[in-house]
Amino acid sequence: MIEKVFLRCGKHMYSRNVLQQVQQFYNSPTTNIKIGTSINAGDPSFLGIQTSFSSELKFINKECYDSLPLFRILDSSKHVRLPEDFKLDEQTFIRMYRKMITLNIMDKILYESQRQGRISFYMTNTGEEYREAGVLLWRGHSIRDFMNQCYGNHKDTSKGRQMPVHYGSKKLNFVTISSPLTTQLPQAVGTAYAFKRSRKGVCVVCYFGEGAASEGDAHAAFNFAATLECPIVFVCRNNGYAISTPSLEQFKGDGIAARGPAYGIYTIRVDGNDILAMYYATRAARELCIMEGKPVLIEAMSYRIGHHSTSDDSTAYRSINEIDQWKHHTPIIRYRDYLESVGLWCEQREQELNKCVKNSVLLAFAKAEKELKPCWKELFTDIYHTMPKHIRKQMCSMEDHVTEFHKYYPLHLFKQT
């Protein structure tokens, strides 16, 4: 099944069937490119490419070949046929939907919380329920953990030193999200290379947007991953906009997936609004990545329904009609239609789930808001294993300041040492 899904690239990796297909493609009348069927035995084989020669002068652009296909499972028909090796029990199908609804409701409550001035910042996942927060929720991160992080209280594992929605969990092997764009890509490749050296039989999964793929770090990461043969799965969510910049203004080629074969990376483009296709492709990518110890690139085509963040008003750069059109094709709507078609869901269960989840989120929300903030001294801890003199000097200076001007600070809202 993997052979049918992924593109194989790079020298000495093409099968005879693949080479025949490539030759048929380039000899087709639509491309008007002729490739000889034989190569002179005396001709050299240039390093790094699958060498072939042509007597016709022609420059290549994206119009010379078909766009990479879009893998999906949930189509518009009522009778969806799952792949034969797609084996999930009913409980797992339902759990996937529950997590998507939970994330959606949590988004709405925390978004309004920011608008009310209760937290400083928030980013929703509407239309992209498979992205980082959804993955962390699926792995077992509790609603209370999400709330504590967004409120930055003393129960937040990052001790209030991260912006809201910058989640992380050592227990769940989830590296903390950071704001600088694209820094996670070369870091993830470095981690994958360490895994390769340790021979642990595991891989890294790295999430990023198509906007991040426009940064130089993305190209460096792809090249390092390919040349060093690192076990990493790159998941690019191409949601159409990098904050306020449409994808059409970011690149002119065939999206992000087209870069994979160019770097020598196994690649697939997936319908990101199809949660089953994302699950199936990601599982296959992981298996391929670990089995061969090489990188895989997944481009998940989706659409960001909400604003980029609470610092953004997307109606300034896209029409409301465009947003409304995509609201009818979200991952939740498409997946619910499938569950109903196979008798696993109904309107009554929908109402019960929404009520239950909303109560749970509001309860966690209320508790997180009342928790004390971390002790101010934790501003200086966890920077070095042993606190150096200059950091200790800063902490003592801060302590003297707080002692002298304590009446000007709401110290009762902070946890004491």
Q: Which residues are catalytic?
A: 112, 179, 308-309
Paired sense of beta strands 241-242 and 245-246, if any: antiparallel
Paired sense of beta strands 296-301 and 232-238, if any: parallel
Give the span between the Cα atoms of 312 and 309, in whole angstroms: 5
Give the span between the Cα atoms of 385 and 259, in whole angstroms: 41
Give the span between the Cα atoms of 309 and 297, in whole angstroms: 26
Give the span between the Cα atoms of 338 and 345, in whole angstroms: 9
Give the span between the Cα atoms of 134 and 125, in whole angstroms: 8
Backbone angles phi, psi at 346, to 5 degrees: -155, 175
Between the alpha carbon of residue 386 and those of residues 64, 295, 377, 381, 392, the distances in Å are: 60, 37, 15, 9, 10
Give the span between the Cα atoms of 332 and 124, in whole angstroms: 14
Q: How many CB atoms lie within 10 A of CB 302?
A: 27
Q: What is the edge-to-edge ordering of all strands in the sheet holding 266-271?
A: 204-209, 232-238, 296-301, 266-271
